[in-house]
Each structure stands twice: as structure tokens, then as C-alpha cells.
Amino acid sequence: MARRILTAESVTEGHPDKIADQLSDAVLDAVLAEDPAARVACEVLVTTGLVLIAGEITAASIPDLAAIARETLRRIGYTSAEYGIDCDSCGILQAINRQSPDIALGVETGGAGDQGLMIGYATDEFLEYSTGPAPAGSGAAIPTLMPAPISLANRLTHRLSELRRAHPGLPWLRPDGKAQVTMEYDGDVPRRVSAVVVSAQHDPDIPLHQLREDVLEQVIIPALPPELFDPAAAEIHINPTGRFVIGGPHGDTGLTGRKLIVDTYGGAARHGGGAFSGKDPTKVDRSGAYGARWAAKHVVAAGLARRCEVTVAYAIGVADPVSVYVETFGTATIPEERIERAVREVFDFRPRALIERLRLAAPIYRPTAAYGHFGRQPYTARVAGEEHRFFTWEELDRLDELLDAAGV
């Protein structure tokens, strides 16, 4: 088998772009909690001391966007201007309009909210059971079927956030942070982590040697599996510039939708180009990508292929996809055309069908906006007094139908 290298990046929820994603999805959730039929396309910009909320909201009522933004910043950990933005004192600007009536014409009949192609991917290379946080009591664990590099990079950034919030944890940590994992493969099989990069925002008085020792011992080694990671053999960079005090929105302006590869498969699969956060599920950028992942994961979990990429393309205002394509990269266990026919038969990719089947018209999106939209453990939680199911596109509930349709 040929040796190959794949690197994936992840960022913490305090990264400026991820702040923007979480603000966008917090607005979306607040609107959907009151009006499940609402149309939302919310974009956010964050910079030093300022949040700008813009876009389109068509709903029975519009919630207090400033209050939502302040509470989201507080939950992330931005409670001091010293960190780049203070949830209580920052300025908040709003520029909200209604959805274009020209777009609404197609959406109201069940058509796609835009044209474009959406891609879902799954692989059996790394059978861990969660790449991000999930509440206790989430039920039986479901394998992620995700690429190893993005799964491990997400582990690292989530570990940074855990230790920042924990007591005693690492009290010198601040909200912003990044991680990067380079994996060496033998063909399609991950063999070892060859390089790790972690950059953690910190208080100004922490000595660099202590920071690097703490991150290695309490973040990197606990997060990476020993069968894939040898600290003595891997190249390790921890805060390689030596200082990362200025971070968050003060260090870099954040924008919604600027971490597409972090949100998905870490570069192991193609990407259609559309962002997710802040968009209600009539936007196929979101619902179509979730549906494609749902289908691809079933193909791999059913043993029909070891790797699977499902591409679904839409035309604005048209319900049925203009194309559905399945690629298994030579790993299929039955003819690929049979897999594609089975996927088309079992999975209904029309936007309205995906919204109903995956229960997407619900306030379930803020947890997706950090640590990836895929490879997460489904769970049920109460929001605004009602129970909702999160990460439904990760469930494996159509395996029997898919196997029957494939003739297996």
C-alpha cells in the first residue's frame, strides 16, 4: 500500500470564527423555538468589542438578538475585555431583513432554498464513538465513522476547553485555541500521528516552559490514543510563536462560515462550498449536507464499502435533487451501481422530506457550531420546555432497508 499523509485542523469554541458560528446558530435556535417554519439566514461578524448580526429572518417574531449574543459570549467564556470582547459591555449592531420573496416562491412549495452541491462522507478507518461533547445518558454509543485526523484534532480542542472550565484544570487557559494533527497512512489505514500542533491562548504570566509541559501532559497525551501516538517519535509544536495572549476577536476578526473544513471532514473528503451555521434547514447547504452524511454513514456501517462519499446537487426552487452520486474509492463490497440505486431508493433527499425525517425544524443547532457537525453522539435534551433530538443525521436507523435495497 502507498504511504500518504493527511492533516486536519480544529479550533476551540473561543476561536473568533467559531464565536461567529455559535452566535449565528444561537439566533437560529431562538427563532425556531418560537416558529419552526421560520426562514433564517443569519451572518455574524465579531471583532474587538463589537458584534454585528446581519442577514434575513422571516418569522412570527424576532427575539432579542442582543440578549442572545451576550448570553452566547458568556457561555463561551468571553467575560472580560482583556480577552478581546466582554459579553456585558461589547457593542452589538443589527442589520436584519426578511427573506427575498423571489427565493420564498420556491421554498414555500418544498423546493430547495438554493442551488449547489452537498457532500457527505464516512470511513471505517477509526471507530471511536464521539468527536465532541455529548450529555450523559445519550444512549448506546454509535461509531463516528469519521477520518482519524479530524477526530483527533477535535479531541485536542475539546480537551483544551474542558481544562479551561475545570477546577483546578488549567486556570491560565483563555478561550481561543487551535490544534492540528498529521496522520501517516498505509494506504487507507492510519498508522501513526506524525505531527501535532497546539496553540492555546493564555494568561500573560504563565512561563512558556510550564505552558508547554502542561499542554503536553494534560492535553495531548490524554487525548491521543497510544496505539497511534508516540510522543517520543512525533513532531510536536506547542505555541510555536512562544506567546498567544492576544486572541479571540481582538486577535482576529471572526466571520460565520469560515471554518468549513473544520466543520466537516478535515479535508479527507470534498466540500460543496456552502456553510452551515445560521441557516434554517430549508437551505440545502445544511439539510442536504446532513442528509448526504446520513446516507454515506449507512453505506459504511452496512459493510457495503469501507469509504463512501455521497454528493447531492440541487436547483433552487426544485424539490428533487438534480443528481445523486455515490463514490466508494474502490472499497465497495458489491458493485457500486447497486449501492447508488439502493441509496436513491432508501434516502429521500428532498428538502422537506429531510426536514421531517431528521427532525430539523427544531432548535438543535448551537451544539453543532463547535467541534464539528459530524461524528457526534446523538442525544435527546429539553429546549424551551420541549424535548428535541440532536445530531439525528448520525443515527443508523435505515440499515435493514439499505441492505434489502442493495440485495444483500
The 3-state DSSP composition of the chain as helix, strand, coil percent (nearest 5) reads 35, 25, 40
Residue 242 belongs to a domain: yes
Residue 232 belongs to a domain: yes
Residue 207 belongs to a domain: yes
| CATH value at residue 165 | 3.30.300.10
pLDDT values of the chain reduced to their tens digit, one per residue, 408 residues:
688 999 999 999 999 999 999 999 999 999 999 999 999 999 999 999 999 999 999 998 899 999 999 999 999 999 998 888 999 999 999 999 987 776 666 677 677 878 899 999 999 997 665 555 666 555 667 789 999 999 999 999 999 999 999 988 999 999 999 999 999 999 889 999 999 999 999 999 999 999 999 999 999 999 999 999 999 999 999 999 999 999 999 999 999 999 999 999 999 999 998 999 999 999 999 999 999 999 999 999 999 999 999 999 999 989 999 999 999 999 999 999 999 999 999 999 999 999 999 999 999 999 999 999 999 999 999 888 899 999 999 999 999 999 999 999
Residue with cell 454515506: 296
Q: Would you state the pLDDT for residue 296? A: 98
State the amino acid at position 192 in one-letter form. Answer: R
Residue 358 belongs to a domain: no
CA distance 37 to 307: 36
Q: Would you state the pLDDT for residue 137? A: 54
User: pLDDT of 285-332, one tens digit each?
Assistant: 999 999 999 999 999 999 999 999 999 999 998 999 999 999 999 999
Q: Would you state the pLDDT for residue 111? A: 78
Domain hosting residue 219, numbered range? 3-9+147-246
Residue 359 belongs to a domain: no
Residue 220 belongs to a domain: yes
Name the domain count of the chain. 1
pTM: 0.94
Residue 209 belongs to a domain: yes
CA distance 393 to 349: 12
CA distance 291 to 12: 26
Residue 239 belongs to a domain: yes
Q: What ranges in 50-173 are assigned the alpha helix state H?
A: 65-76, 101-107, 148-165
382 backbone φψ class: left, alpha, beta (φ>0; ψ -120 to 50): beta
Q: What is the DSSP letter of 279?
A: B
